[in-house]
Amino acid sequence: MTTGHIKLQPELQKVFSELGFSKFTEIQEKSIPLIQEGKDIIGQSYTGSGKTLAFGFPSIEKIVHGHGIQMLILVPTRELCNQVTKEMEKFSKYKRINVVEVYGGVSINPQIDLLPEADIVVGTPGRLLDHMDRRTINLSRVKILVLDEADRMFDMGFIDDVRKIISQTPRNRQTLLFSATMSDSVIEIVHRHMNNPVKIKVQTHLDKVQLTQHYYDVDASDKFSLLVHLLKNEAREPIIIFCATRRMVDILNRNLLKQGIKSQGLHGGLTQSRRKQVMDAFAEHRLGVIIASDVAARGLDIKDVALVVNYDLPKTSKDYVHRIGRTARAGSKGQVISLLSQQDYENFNHVLEDRSLVIDRVELPKFERVPFQMRSQQQHGFGYNQGRGYRGERGNYRSQRRY
């Protein structure tokens, strides 16, 4: 059977249809034929471009059950590990293939029990090294190695771990690397461990026709009140709100709950089981609002997000694009709102270094002032201007910098 010019095994063609896809994304169209031919590839794309299917479908075609671990997928986080595993299980629905996930934060013993029967392993670098040290994993039959979210993985300090893991795989393997950016560490891995790779660079997956990006210039004391107003009166769920730190995630979540907004925080300080509960509830639309730190959200491929709110502005345009890439996908409309206070100006300037971003300023609506508690016994943050904006230094700042 064929899907356009791409030939797929009947089992995968059936899965493609059952998943409701009508056509391949750009990264899939360009990658699948090359992977089927056995070439090493570098796929430069952002979260949400469809890269899991891009490397998953053609790789599954080459896996034969019972011949050891033939595919190893390295990912930076536990959440992404769980996510990619679920996708690979869906893709291999009509083939006899065992997919095993290995990550830290949980008991290693169940993983040890499952690994002897694994055909595909999805894992984080730290836990994979644990298995290697215990000799509970055998990578000598790996024929396809995937480095997913490579730049994120190396930003998190896993470069040496990745080198050690690669050294235990066969030299004649096929290597597939996917990364949003080409950092020095990524380039070094490419030069040392890939064989004449073909580079595929796709445009950002954001549908700019379907995506609106706005920012409000608001006094810090009014930021929470404005957020509550937007969530109660103008926003459409599902919603992800980004904060700079796990402490701010917890503070904001506690205050939103007091305002009757059903939300949950997501950050690295939560147990793996709790993080999974939150993600499952959000994916199943039992939870409408997630408040996340960047670390917790790295690599999360969350579908159908209607609104992304930057409660704290990210430090770079790359992080901004990574955040907003969870909305306006697959033809759906999406919205991004950034709440910009004086402490966010420097970060916002860094975001705007990406000249392709069009972020429009909108006037503040009238909104009710509500209490905001930084700590349980201390109140802060009542607004003072009824949404009219602050006219002091920020007015001068706006005249100097046009957003």
pLDDT band at 201 (very low <50, low <70, confident <90, very high): confident
What is the predicted pLDDT for the residue at 319?
83
pLDDT higher than 50, residue 161: yes
pLDDT higher than 90, residue 272: no
Percent of the chain with pLDDT over 70: 86
Q: What is the mean pLDDT of residues 135-156?
A: 94
Task: Round the average pLDDT of the chain to a whole number and report it.
Answer: 86
For the chain, give the number of residues: 403
pLDDT band at 384 (very low <50, low <70, confident <90, very high): very low
Task: Name the most confidently modeled range: 45-54, 154-163, 201-210, 264-273.
Answer: 154-163
What is the predicted pLDDT for the residue at 306?
86
Exposure pattern of 198-218 as b/e (b: 16+ CB <10 Å)?
eebebebbbeeeebbbebbbb
Query: What CATH class is the domain 211-400?
Result: alpha beta
CA 289 vs CA 173, 257, 278, 286, 330: distances in Å: 42, 11, 10, 10, 21
CATH number 3.40.50.300 is the correct assignment for the domain at 2-201: yes
Q: What is the mean pLDDT of residues 157-169?
A: 95
pLDDT higher than 90, residue 341: yes
pLDDT higher than 80, residue 141: yes
What is the predicted pLDDT for the residue at 387?
35
Contacts of 392 (CB under 8 A, 6+ apart): none
What is the predicted pLDDT for the residue at 295?
67
**Fold equal for 2-201 and 211-400:** yes
What is the predicted pLDDT for the residue at 378?
40
Domain boundaries, given as residue ranges, for the chain: 2-201, 211-400
CB distance 150 to 178 below 8 Å:
yes
What is the predicted pLDDT for the residue at 46?
65
Give the tens place of pLDDT for each residue, 299-314: 565 667 889 999 999 9
pLDDT band at 297 (very low <50, low <70, confident <90, very high): low
What is the predicted pLDDT for the residue at 391?
29
CB distance 49 to 322 below 8 Å:
no
What is the predicted pLDDT for the residue at 305?
83
pLDDT higher than 80, residue 395: no
- Of the two residues 356 and 190, the one the predictor is more confident about is 190
What is the predicted pLDDT for the residue at 296?
59
What is the predicted pLDDT for the residue at 125?
96
pLDDT higher than 50, residue 377: no
Give the tens place of pLDDT for each residue, 57-87: 999 999 999 999 999 999 998 888 988 999 9
